[in-house]
Amino acid sequence: MTVVGPFGVSVRDRALEVDVQAGLAAVEAGLIEATKSDVAFITEAAQHLVRAGGKRFRPLLVMLAARFGDPYAPGVVPAAVVVELTHLATLYHDDIMDEAEMRRGVPSANARWDNSVAVLTGDFLFSRASTMVADLGPAAVRIQAEAFERLVTGQLQETAGPGAGEDPVAHYLDVIAGKTGSLIAVAGRFGAMMSGADEAVVDVVTQFGERIGIAFQLADDVLDIASDGGESGKTPGTDLREGVPTMPVLRLREMAARGGSAADRELCELIAGDLSDDARLATALAGLRVHPALEAAKQDTLRFADDARRCLAPLPEGPAKASMAALCDLVADRTR
């Protein structure tokens, strides 16, 4: 059994492993090239998160989706670079909004420099992604623009919060479908499109991308509570401290509202309060780690991973399909 990609996705095909690794290496080189500037400081800031590494999940999905057509088609690697550049740009902006201090195991750009540098560097990366996608044709430009609109809409929905009478869990799922699922859907779509795969295949991998994207975000929600920060590269409880109501918190509030115990209500009050104090944050994390709400959030994650797996049914059997299914298994492994 061999391994594909930085996620450790198990496959049984050596040729696929070699090809995908070569593709990801080309993407890495493309990212370095795309983040160069004549101004040395801009290059340093733009490559800050590129060189920090990361899972490169979106490029990996581009490479796997391209296996249903011509994986060596000239647009495949540039499309993967476009998607990852866009993702990286959102990270610079997200860290400003979250006041995050760490990203991918290194200081965030806003912590290393300041908010102005971080937001402008994100804008720089968006501009480079736009230049590259223009070379992929008008259809790709439209797809990228529509995904970007969904991404921004999701962020604004998160900032505004659910409306009166709106189910907070349903609202949150809409948020992450836009913020996370939309761009991962584009990764699958671009990979299949650029390879010349049939339109039916393009539709399948697009649907798969959105669902597996939601599943991975839900898994990150769980990890923000349950992990020590080693896997996520972020300080544990970052979302909690910033008052971002991720799925474990939403499930806790739901349980408390439906006749929960006094301890449930006390934990809700603690989380709703000021968690800038490390001791208060540690108490909140400890409470959530043993609460049934965390298990409920894990089950939500697994449900979306299973939905993603079912999307793959129409695809022809083979190593690429098996590798995409293995991404669903990886979600389960991360959530345990």
Largest CA distance in the chain: 61
Domain 16-311 bears CATH identifier 3.40.50.150: no
CA 183 – CA 115 distance, rounded (Å): 24
CA 79/CA 135 separation, integer angstroms: 10
Alpha-carbon span 129 to 247, nearest angstrom: 31
Sign of the Cα torsion 76, 79, 84, 85 reads positive
* pLDDT (0 to 100) of residue 171: 97
Within 10 A of 313 (CB to CB), how many other CB atoms are there? 8
Q: How far apart are CA 174 and CA 132, in angstroms?
A: 29
Residue 26 CA to residue 83 CA, distance in Å, equals 14
Q: What angle do CA 161, 166, 170 make, to 5 degrees?
A: 80
Q: Hey, where are the domains in the chain?
A: 16-311
Q: DSSP label at 53?
A: -
Amino acid at 228: D
Total-model pTM: 0.90
Stated length of the chain: 336
Q: Which amino acid is at 183?
A: L
Kindly state the tokens that stand for 264: 């449930």
- Profile the chain (336 residues) by mean pLDDT over runs of 10 residues: 43 82 96 95 88 88 97 97 94 73 70 80 93 97 96 93 94 96 98 98 98 95 82 72 91 93 94 93 96 96 96 96 94 82
Cα angle for residues 194, 198, 199 (degrees, 5° grid) = 90
Rounded CA-CA distance 100/310 in Å is 36
What radius of gyration do the chain's Cα atoms show? 20
C-alpha 4/C-alpha 63 separation (Å) is 11
Which two structure tokens, joined as six digits, stand for 323?
């590798």
Handedness of CA 290, 295, 298, 300 (dihedral sign): negative
Contact predicate 195/71, CB 8 Å = yes
- Tokens at residue 321, please? 């399909």
